[in-house]
Amino acid sequence: MNVKELAKDPLTKLTAGLSGIVALLNPEIVFALTDALIASGPQLFSVISLSALTLPQVLPPSSTGEWAVVAAGVVFLAYLGQQIWSNIDREL
């Protein structure tokens, strides 16, 4: 599925509409979420670079070393996800 198909999807339109309504009715949530994402900037960069640049080079793993890299990457992604979630939880 590409971006054009995703933009035409009715579920995407419904989600965007509901998000817009919530943002209009309760802008404090949007501001808090924005602050949390800004505070999580370094973690978000690490998650994106690890998942987009590092892991695809060793997927699917065929040797023990590649399995170790994938396992370490998954553990690191879980740690970063926890850090991002704690930032969001603290701001909201």
In a domain, 86, yes or no: yes
pLDDT, tens only, 2-35: 677 777 888 888 888 888 887 788 778 778 777 8
Count of domains for the chain: 1
1 has a pLDDT exceeding 70 = no
Tell me how long the chain is. Answer: 92
Calpha distance 68→21 (Å, rounded): 45
In a domain? residue 53:
yes
CA angle 41, 46, 48 (to 5 degrees): 95
- Token pair of 58, please? 């060793």
DSSP letter at 59?
P
17 located within any domain: no
pTM over 0.85: no
Is position 21 within any domain? no
* Residue 33 lies inside a defined structural domain of this protein: yes
The answer to the question of residue 66 being in a domain is: yes
